[in-house]
Amino acid sequence: MALGILPLVVWLFWSWNELWFLAPIKASLNGAKLPPGHMGLPFIGEMLSFLWYFKIVCRPDDFINSRKQRYGDGVGMYRSHLYGSPSIIACSHMTFENICGMFVGLEQGPLLQEVGKWFTGMTAGFRAQPFNFPGTAYHHALQCRRKLGAVFRAELVKRKQRGDVASEERNDLMDGLMQIKDEEGKQLGDEEVVDNIVPLIVGSYEPTSVATTWCLYYLAKSPSVLRRLREEHMKICEQKKGAFITVEDIRKMKYTHKVIDETVRMANVAPMIFRQVNKDVDYQGYRIPKDWKVVVWLRQLHTDPNNFEDPFNFNPDLME
């Protein structure tokens, strides 16, 4: 009897997420079908497989390749369950101190060091399971976000009390956000200013520093690219005769822009981005249900030989 029940238990365990998430939306599909895939184990979904490829064997491309081998290329979409949510995977150096100084006027000191730690803690929670209880990365990230909000909110209050919103001496990002008006002439509220500053600092610091490091690496491995880059820069320097370069000079650096774009493609600073589906969407014969997540797998798009010839070779001339 027990042996007869065991296969049923195993099947139920393996299919639980499929039954739990797909059964409620079957009636609304109206003949549409979901992308191929599997939603993994109860609660954790496919996170074990995801972490295996990303953290253990350090071969993130194989996470997608395994799905392509199992389900085919198709339209480049696969259903999954990641970070606590049903998902559709679509394959379709500036220092921190500089940025905080330019954005919110924070200067070197103990507070800036604490802010750096909080940003590190918050970003660590971006790829964590959403388990909000003490000891988890997600819980710690939420705490760090609240502390950052408190620091920036206090700075905002100080500036309003001093009446130096448009201070020419500072004129940083916080000042700019405090002066922004919408179509009706209304200024951003305090919380809107803070909510904009936090993601802008994250986006300006970590991706920029990582991309700069990768750029130096690729240039060191590609002497011919470095030579052409140097020739372009030296030509502009000779024309300037010791004067500082301008925005117009930067716009003329066509090959430099190609090097930057190729670095972003190869380095894949953000290998994926997440979006929330706010209504049912039909795409290429598949249904993407409302309230699911869409994981756009940029890394796969950037290394697909159908999009780029010899995709693992650093070649700025691809960026035409």
Q: Where in the sequence is the domain holding 180, given as residue range(s)?
A: 96-205
User: Quick check: is 260 in a domain?
Assistant: no
* 82 contacts: CB under 8 Å, gap ≥ 6: 45, 46, 47, 50, 89, 293, 295
Domain boundary among 180, 205, 230: 205
Alpha-carbon distance of 274 to 88, in angstroms, equals 10
Q: Are residues 119 and 20 in the same domain?
A: no
Query: Does residue 78 share a domain with residue 119?
Result: no
CA end-to-end span of the chain, whole Å? 67
Residues 131 and 158 in one domain: yes
Please give the Cα distance from 94 to 52 (Å, whole number): 32
35 belongs to a structural domain: yes
Cα gap 143→134, rounded to integer Å:
10
Residue 20 lies in a domain: yes
Residues 73, 127 within the same domain: no
Q: Are residues 113 and 65 in the same domain?
A: no
pLDDT score, position 149: 87
In the block, residue with structure tokens 């201070």: 167
**Residues 6 or more apart in contact with residue 151 via CB below 8 angstroms:** 111, 115
Q: Does residue 165 fall inside a structural domain?
A: yes
DSSP letter string, 134-157: TTSHHHHHHHHHHHHHHHHHHHHH
Structure tokens at 228: 């052409």
Residues 103 and 155 in one domain: yes
In the block, tokens 């320097």 appear at 237
250: amino acid identity, one letter: I
The residue type of 240 is K
Q: Is 75 domain-assigned?
A: yes
| Cα dihedral across residues 178, 182, 187, 192: positive or negative | negative
Domain count, the chain: 2
Q: How far apart are CA 114 and CA 306, in angstroms?
A: 46
Number of Cβ within a 10 Å radius of residue 205: 22
Residue 66 lies in a domain: yes
181 and 157 in a common domain = yes
Q: Are 72 and 115 in the same domain?
A: no
* Amino acid making up residue 47: M
| pLDDT at residue 165 in the model | 47
Residues 59 and 142 reside in one and the same domain? no
Per-residue pLDDT of the chain (320 residues; tens, 9 = 90+): 556 687 777 778 888 888 888 888 877 777 778 888 888 889 888 989 888 888 888 887 788 888 888 888 777 788 899 888 888 887 764 456 666 766 677 777 788 888 888 888 888 887 778 888 898 988 999 999 899 888 888 888 888 777 654 445 556 777 777 877 777 778 878 888 888 888 777 776 667 777 888 888 899 889 999 999 999 999 988 888 878 888 888 888 999 999 999 998 888 777 777 888 888 888 888 888 888 888 888 888 888 888 899 999 999 999 87
SS3 277: coil
Q: Are residues 86 and 139 in the same domain?
A: no
- pTM equals 0.57
Task: For residue 312, give the 3-state DSSP assignment.
Answer: coil
pLDDT of residue 315: 94
* Exposed e or buried b per residue across 230-258, where buried means at least 16 C-beta atoms within 10 angstroms of its C-beta: eebeeeeeeeeeeeeeeeeeeeebebbeb
Longest dimension (CA), the chain: 90
Q: Where are the alpha helices (DSSP H) in the chain?
A: 2-22, 26-29, 47-51, 61-71, 96-104, 110-124, 137-162, 173-179, 190-221, 223-240, 247-251, 254-267, 298-302
For residue 12, what are its two tokens?
A: 């139920």
Contact predicate 141/128, CB 8 Å: yes
Both 48 and 100 in a single domain? Answer: no
Q: What is the pLDDT of residue 113?
A: 81
Q: Does any domain span residue 238?
A: no
Q: Can you give the pLDDT at residue 166?
A: 47
pLDDT for position 143: 93
In a domain, 185, yes or no: yes
Looking at residue 4, what is its pLDDT? Answer: 64
What are the tokens at 162? Answer: 């001093």
Q: Where is the domain boundary, 145, 170, 205?
A: 205
Write down the pLDDT at residue 93.
45
Last residue of a domain, one of 140, 175, 205: 205
* Residues 72 and 121 grouped into a single domain: no
